[in-house]
Copies of this chain bind each other. A is one copy, B any other.
């Protein structure tokens, strides 16, 4: 059976189990993050990038590159996070086209407290589910897929971001 329009049994098993993990793992992690730290997965992602930047400060579009979100999503999300005091917007003095985003004290506290618990869950449900060899094989496979996606940056995609 070399029917290119379908997957064979092994391929389908891999694909479906990947889809299952994607759904279950992210919903489980997000639910726990929300419950234990009051942060959504998106909040967490933004805070991680900011906390890794020098002085907890980044340009909005750098955040967009890091998260691979559209600029409007970034903007809306920052508005909400600023409203909750996790983050602060600072117009850029030199060039007022740009906008700096800085971590507030509350924001740093939030990520510092949330991260260990989150990481513990990642370890519990992801890392500890497999042996070190399996983990390495898994990482290699993921990198291969990511590379494949990056190399085939098909041009006719309307939204430039993910292509």
A residues neighboring B (CB under 8 Å): 4-7, 10-11, 13-15, 17-18, 20-28, 31, 35, 68, 115-116, 119-120, 122-130, 132, 134-150, 152, 157-159, 161-163
A12 CB to closest chain B CB (Å) equals: 10
Beyond known contacts A4-B120, A10-B139: 12 more, CB 8 A cutoff: A14-B135, A17-B142, A20-B146, A21-B142, A24-B68, A27-B68, A27-B162, A31-B163, A126-B145, A134-B144, A137-B141, A138-B141
Kindly identify which residue among B136, B143, B149 contacts A25, using a CB–CB cutoff of 8 Å: B149
Q: Which residues of B contact A130 (CB under 8 A)?
A: 141, 144-145
Chain A interface, >50% SS class: helix
A146 CB to closest chain B CB (Å) equals: 5
A135 lies within 8 A of B5 (CB): no
Kindly identify which residue among B23, B123, B129 contacts A7, using a CB–CB cutoff of 8 Å: B123
Q: Which residues of B contact A31 (CB under 8 A)?
A: 157-159, 162-163
